[in-house]
Chain A
Amino acid sequence: MLTLEKICYDVDADRPDRARRILSDVSLDFPDGTVTVITGHNGSGKSTLVKLIMGIDKPASGRIIFNGEDVTDASVTERAQKGFTIAFQQPVRFKGITVRDLLDAACRKKCTTGEACKFLYTVGLCAKDYIDRPVDGTLSGGELKRIELATALAKGGEVFLLDEPEAGIDLWSFDELVGVFDKLRDKTVIIVSHQNKILQAADRIVVLNSAAEPVVGTRDEILPGLTDADAPYCRRRPASAE
């Protein structure tokens, strides 16, 4: 079980004249063996929340508890070793590092070609075309996203944080992508997404709103309201509060 307790986060915290609170006393539970999709309007703090869980950014206040242990101050490396795994919204480009190098780093050993291929096939890539390619600008955005997912799968773990995994991936491959989430059903999976098909695959949905408490419920409770034009979710801060 992963628990967030009263998490606050300010952007531009080091510049008081520009500082702005985007997460305010956010408390959420992510039970084991569930897929939770976090959605919400642009700027509501979805990616920030994922980065806080991974330890890339630190909350202004609040605690992050994983299986009873307070990991709020744990480094990215420590969290990765405890079982936190992230696939970034915008995959990093390197110079000279190949797909095979990344998979080896993720597995913490030299992968056999067979093992490396398995991860690439799972995300819909023909392994022999990609295994020795550098992870740089010669790959398209969609290819980089798939490789990002493959490294997350190769690393393994208990908590998977997938930030807009569908971005750049063609619509025809969505079912394949949902198939990847199904393989992680016994883990704690947290996905940031706006896509209906991804939301359909969720057990639970969290709607973040920087103006109010997050709304949490099962897919069937939340999803119908998300497509309702009059839904209270995903609204920006009311004019009176500006």
Chain B
Amino acid sequence: MEKLDLELLEKIAELHSVPEGSFNIRKNGERLAANSTDDVQIVQKTDKPGIDIIVAEGVKNKSVHIPVILTVGDFKDTVYNDFFIGKNADVTIVAGCGIHNPGGGSAEHDGIHTFHLAENSRVRYVERHYGEGVQGSKRVFDPVTKAVLDKGAVLEMDTTQLGGVTFTDRMTEAVVGDGAKLIVKEKLLTDGEEKAISRFRVDLKGAGSTCDIVSRSVARGKSHQEFYSDVIGNNECFGHVECDGIVMDGARILSTPEIDAAHPDASLVHEAAVGKIAGDQLTKLMSLGLTEKEAEDAVIKGFLN
């Protein structure tokens, strides 16, 4: 692997070398390295680009790394990854994509993911998106995630985009079964002319199903963010959506949370708060000796922590 590859892999997956266990590293539309085990099989698709990740029933405490890197411009990589998580399995999946666009034009990665979580399985899905490259180059992500959670399954998604992505339009859809739980923690930082759109559509279908979606975002410069969430309670369920945004400079954040209690025992909450950094937070940190800029950075770092 080249030095640039390793730098990108470190940024998105904290990988310093080829990981242990099952993994698949994709570079510029091609498989760079991979390994499959009996516990977590990684099978390359034959009909379209992408892989099937098949986690065997009852597998516990395993992690799977499936990072993607793009190091060329004028390139669009669409990849279809399907995750099949067996009953009672408990795994961590580290995904993410780093784009280094060395020239003009657009470098785009669109990960189309489906998750099938069997009964009482548990997945922690960690995804980081990062972009860098020459000024004026475009780094684009349009990921689509669809998840179906069977009875008692838990899907925890930690998604992070902290810089250099010029445009993203993310769609996350989930159908949550009986006693199943969807937990999403989204962190987003945009700057300059960047634009980020994040959409959620959750069907709380099962009795006792829950979802907890927390989005924390900071918009700097002239960047623009849009957050849409649509949670439908089709059974006795609990849903919580929170969109917390800090706007700075000339940036803008639009938040449209929608909740639909389609069942008399559905309990749905949405909270949205968008505004500049609270003055008393800055004053407190400045009273410890920080400059205003240092205080702002400390608030943002904590907020996106």
Q: How would you classify the secondary structure of chain B's contact residues: helix, strand, loop or mixed?
A: helix
A106 touches B288 (CB 8 A): yes
A92 touches B281 (CB 8 A): yes
B20 close to chain A: CB less than 8 A: no
Contact of A54 (CB < 8 Å), options: B287, B290, B291, B299:
B287
Residues 257 to 305 of chain B near chain A (Cβ within 8 Å): 278, 280-281, 283-292, 298-299, 301-305
Contact of B244 (CB < 8 Å), options: A54, A56, A95:
A95
Q: B: which residues have CB within 8 A of A?
A: 216, 244, 278, 280-281, 283-292, 298-299, 301-305
Q: A: which residues have CB within 8 A of B?
A: 54, 56, 75-77, 80-81, 84-86, 88, 91-92, 94-98, 101-102, 105-106, 108, 134, 151, 155
Max chain B Cβ within 10 angstroms of own Cβ: one of A81, A84, A94, A106: A94
A96 touches B283 (CB 8 A): no
The 16 listed contacts between A and B (C-beta, < 8 Å) are A54-B287, A76-B283, A76-B287, A77-B290, A80-B288, A84-B287, A92-B283, A94-B302, A95-B302, A96-B301, A96-B303, A97-B303, A98-B302, A105-B285, A105-B298, A106-B288
Instruction: Given A76-B283, A88-B284, decide whether A108 and B289 contact each other with a Cβ distance below 8 A.
Output: yes
A173 to chain B, nearest CB (A): 23
- On chain A, the residues within 8 Å of B283 by CB distance are 56, 76, 92
- A-B pairs, 10 with minimum CB distance: A97-B302, A96-B302, A80-B289, A92-B284, A96-B305, A76-B286, A106-B288, A77-B286, A96-B303, A92-B280
Q: How would you classify the secondary structure of chain A's contact residues: helix, strand, loop or mixed?
A: mixed
Contact of A97 (CB < 8 Å), options: B244, B289, B291, B298:
B298
B288 to chain A, nearest CB (A): 5
For the complex, what is the distance from the CA of A112 to the CA of B292, rounded to whole Å?
A: 25
Given contacts A92-B278, A94-B302, 14 further A-B contacts (CB under 8 A): A56-B287, A75-B286, A76-B283, A77-B286, A77-B291, A81-B289, A85-B287, A86-B287, A92-B280, A95-B244, A96-B304, A101-B298, A105-B290, A155-B288
For the complex, what is the distance from the CA of A81 to the CA of B291, rounded to whole Å?
A: 10
Contact of A101 (CB < 8 Å), options: B278, B280, B286, B302:
B302
B280 touches A95 (CB 8 A): no
A105 touches B244 (CB 8 A): no
B216 touches A155 (CB 8 A): no
- On chain A, the residues within 8 Å of B305 by CB distance are 96-98
B242 to chain A, nearest CB (A): 11
For the complex, what is the distance from the CA of A155 to the CA of B286, rounded to whole Å?
A: 12
